[in-house]
Amino acid sequence: MTRHTDPRRALVLFSGGQDSTACLAWALARYAHVETIGFDYGQRHLIELECRMDVRAALQAEFPLWGHRLGADHLIDLSVLGQISDTAMTDARAIELNAQGMPNTFVPGRNLLFFNFAAAIAYRRALSVLVGGMCETDFSGYPDCRDNTLRALQVAISLGLDAPMTLETPLMWLDKAQTWGLAEELGGDALIDLTVEYTHTCYLGDRSQRHEWGYGCGLCPACDLRRKGYDAWVRS
């Protein structure tokens, strides 16, 4: 790939899922130095946090240039979120849709919190680009994932830190099929295979069943979305 390298240093919000893995690859293809940040807020599926390290290791092993650019990982304990949420992610309830059609895994405004913590780390680490996998197109309608929300947050963070901080959301206008397409464009079959094998999506934390599109229960909303996206995308 002959793309010009952006000399800035980036921090990717990285959960070990398909979307944030595409974002990490996107950042590694662009920026001279890329670090990752993850948040442990008492998810039922701590397996997601384990997948983070597997994905990082696989990217380093299979993409030497990206491996050279990939820097530190930061795992932040946000278990405090468990005290202010009442959802399937933090207790044993089944995943349901509320009256607004949102899964009850919703933690109000959590992406605002994530970006603020990421910005504080970025400031300390001399990183000036924050990358997140938020998406308006086919996600569950979370208002803190919307483009206007994040543009406003970029301004607030840059003013509040008195340092320019750019928020990049490469998936904002992509659907799930196009996210597979982006991965293919960035890293070809190797990145597709890596995504299938190592990334995690399932709300229930199931990695016992392997499908063409990856591991998961196959039934929860996250698996459903991932399967539909994979089916709609055709490997070229």
- Given the complex with Zn ion, which of 30 and 226 has the nearer CB atom? 226
Within a 13 Å sphere around the CA of 55, how many CA atoms are in the beta-carbon half? 30
Closest CB 106 distance from Zn ion, rounded Å: 17
Query: What value, to the nearest 5°, has the Cα angle with vertex 5 and ends 192 and 63?
Result: 30
Cβ partners under 8 Å of residue 32, min gap 6:
5, 6, 7, 8, 9, 69
Closest CB 211 distance from Zn ion, rounded Å: 10
Closest CB 116 distance from Zn ion, rounded Å: 29
Q: Which residues pair with 36 in a beta bridge?
A: 12, 73
Q: Which of 103, 181, 187, 216 binds Zn ion (CB under 5 A)?
A: 216
Cβ partners under 8 Å of residue 2, min gap 6:
none
Nearest to 19, CA basis, from 155, 136, 150, 123: 136
Closest CB 200 distance from Zn ion, rounded Å: 10
Main-chain phi, psi angles of 10, to 5 degrees = -120, 155
DSSP 4: P
Which residues in the 56-115 window bind Zn ion by CB under 5 A?
Answer: none
The site that binds Zn ion (CB under 5 A) totals a number of residues, namely 6
Closest CB 155 distance from Zn ion, rounded Å: 37
- The span from the CA of 95 to the CA of 202, in Å, is 12
DSSP 132: -
- Given the complex with Zn ion, which of 156 and 219 has the nearer CB atom? 219
Q: Which of 52, 142, 223, 229 binds Zn ion (CB under 5 A)?
A: 223
Closest CB 220 distance from Zn ion, rounded Å: 3
Stretch that binds Zn ion, among 86-94, 152-160, 207-215, 219-227 (CB under 5 A): 219-227
CA distances for 29 relative to 2, 10, 59, 68, 114, angstroms = 10, 11, 12, 11, 23
Stretch that binds Zn ion, among 26-34, 59-67, 114-122, 195-203 (CB under 5 A): 195-203
- 174 lies in the binding site for Zn ion (CB under 5 A): no
Q: Which of 45, 142, 202, 213 binds Zn ion (CB under 5 A)?
A: 202
Q: Which of 24, 59, 145, 220 binds Zn ion (CB under 5 A)?
A: 220
Closest CB 221 distance from Zn ion, rounded Å: 8
Interacting residues toward Zn ion by CB under 5 A: 202, 204, 216-217, 220, 223
